């Protein structure tokens, strides 16, 4: 979802409601099937919040933070507490409220 003043890599995502309407209700949402999807959801949400909060001086700083967070999660250098894994970023990444 394009947003003024927000870098495009941090734009929120929404489901394609027209395409979803053509699916059976039980097929409309599914699990994340790859750890990279989880890492992108978490790091993207944290970076989006940081951008909106004014924590970054530039888009390059935000991109570096995003990339480093994904790396730390993938390398198991850092991990959030368990509720973050399940809840954080569902709206930002998938438009799920």
Count of CB atoms situated within 10 Å of the CB of 63: 15
Is 59:29 a contact under the CB 8 Å cutoff?
Answer: no
- pTM of the predicted protein model: 0.83
Task: Give dist(CA 60, CA 62) in Å, integer.
Answer: 5
What totals of helices (H) and strands (E) does the chain contain, helices first?
Answer: 5, 0
**R_g of the chain, CA atoms, integer Å:** 15
**pLDDT tens, residue by residue, 7-59:** 988 998 877 778 878 888 887 777 889 999 999 999 999 999 999 999 999 99
Name the token pair of 34.
Answer: 């790859």
């Amino acid at each position: 979802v394009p947003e003024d003043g927000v870098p495009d890599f941090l734009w929120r995502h929404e489901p394609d409601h027209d395409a979803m309407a053509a699916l059976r209700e039980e097929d409309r949402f599914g699990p994340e099937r790859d750890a990279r999807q989880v890492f992108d959801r978490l790091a993207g949400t944290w970076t989006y919040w940081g951008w909106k909060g004014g924590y970054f001086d530039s888009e390059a700083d935000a991109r570096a933070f995003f990339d480093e967070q994904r790396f730390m999660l993938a390398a198991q250098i850092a991990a959030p507490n368990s509720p973050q894994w399940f809840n954080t970023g569902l709206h930002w990444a998938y438009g799920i409220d």
